[in-house]
Structure 1
Amino acid sequence: MAGRPREFDIEKVLVKARDAFWKNGYEGISMSDLVTLLGIASARIYAAFGSKEGLFRKAVEFYMEHEGGFVSKALLETNTVKEFVQQILLDAVELYTDNSKPKGCMVVLSAINCTEANNNIRLWLEELRHKQSILITKRIEQAIINNELPAVSDSQLLGDYVVNVLNGLAIQGRDGVPKERLIKMINFCMRLFP
């Protein structure tokens, strides 16, 4: 026997949930807030996502498949490491300062500090950030192999530097630092890449 069909558009729900968690953080929005915001009974949210945490994880995955997926996108769209780094930093600034969305980065800012009860959320986001860092560092390693960067270059150091710039841009974007200033920071960072 088929279950009763959902009476809501899953993508619209994920967009609303994504924006709420992105703006307020995981612990900054309650299940009651989500019920009001989404216009769906809590029983339906639980049936579709299992829990608030399940909804959060799906919202983050949605973010990473769309706005937040700029590292994977740049890997496919660029030819040189300089183009790659520049594209991810510029895409980050565009996203983090976009007035039609919450500011900053959802993965960086939505659960930096959590109570012990939600430590698994913090650890999960930490793992997502770590995976992004590995992608960036591996691209830099490849650039050294391909002689795009000097053989003496430290791929881990350069990768960590780019990730730190990304994370700093997320915080400054959230804090309302103007886009023009953030782009100047990118131009300064790009001096490391010939």
Structure 2
Amino acid sequence: MSPRGRPRGFDREAALTRAMHVFWERGYEGASLAELTAAMGINSPSLYAAFGGKEALFREAVRLYGATHGAMTERAFREQHSARDAVGAMLRYNAATYADPDLPSGCMIVLSATNYTPSNEGVRDFLAALRKEDIDGLRQRLRQGVTDGELPEHADIEGMTAFYGTVLHGLSIQARDGASLEELTVVIDAAMACWDRFAQVVPVDRTSWTG
């Protein structure tokens, strides 16, 4: 017998994928239970029985996103052998996903909690932590470039991390606003043209900054 409230033949993975697309398009706050259950083909009791509630469903959907469409940065770092090629591929692979007409635009992890209520600060913090992990991964890849001799020891790694991380997140916002892949590629080309400047600059002592 099927669990109470769960329809016979319930495909959990398919339902989760459809929920991911709703959250990706609408954001956490904007995705109503009615919209989620309609997309998933289940009723509200089924959602709670299978996933534990809206926030638990969202967190699971984010993990699915991170293992699929959101895995482009990991793919770039795995496939490319030089730091420069890895960062360029990071931007290009992600931009192609952000602007894919068959998917919701932009990055789910960047855009899903730009607005939130105080009761949902946990969702905001969850996504912020994931974005921080991505930036930390970028920093580590750039530091590996120094270790491998691709970048000089005095390269401004912190500046490069902040810059290319901001470009990556900015591409997501531009895609959500309707920018095409061609338009995003212009931004990426300009960003990669800055590589040598960062590689040659002595890092700034940002610990003395105030305000």
The aligned counterpart of 1:185 is 187
Counterpart selection for 1:134 from 131, 136, 152 = 136
Retained in 1: the 8 A contact 2:28–2:112? yes
Q: Tell me whether 1:19 sits opposite 2:21 in the alignment.
A: yes
Q: Name the % identity.
A: 37
TM-score where L is the length of structure 1: 0.94
- Which of the residues 34, 43, 46 maps onto 2:45? 43
Residue 107 of structure 2 is matched in structure 1 by 105
- SS state at 2:149 partner: coil
How big is the shift at 1:73?
1.4
SS in 2 for 1:26: helix
Asked whether the equivalents of residues 77 and 90 of structure 2 are also in contact (C-alpha less than 8 Å), the reply is: no
Distance in 1, matches of 2:195 and 2:84, equals 6
Whether the 8 Å contact between 1:96 and 1:170 is mirrored in structure 2 is yes
> What is the CA–CA distance in structure 2 between the aligned matches of 1:108 and 1:87, rounded to whole Å?
19
TM-score by length of 2: 0.87
Task: Please give the root-mean-square deviation of Cα atoms over the aligned residues, in Å.
Answer: 1.6
Q: Which amino acid aligns with 1:7?
A: G
Count residues with an aligned counterpart.
193
Q: Read off the aligned partner of 1:164 and give its amino acid letter.
A: T
**Structure 2: runs of 5+ lacking an equivalent:** 197-211
Deviation at 1:3, TM superposition (A): 7.2
Structure 1 alignment gaps of length 5 or more: none
- Aligned-pair CA distance for 1:96: 0.7
Which residue number corresponds to residue 146 of structure 1?
A: 148
Which range moved further: 73-82 or 17-26?
73-82
Q: Which has the larger radius of gyration?
A: 2
Q: Note the 1:1-194 alignment, pairs <5 A.
A: 4=3, 7-194=9-196
Higher relative contact order, chain-length normalized (CA < 8 Å, sep 6+)? 1
Q: Within 2, Cα distance between the matches of 1:33 and 1:22?
A: 13
Asked if 2 retains the 8 angstrom alpha-carbon contact of 1:149 and 1:193, the reply is no
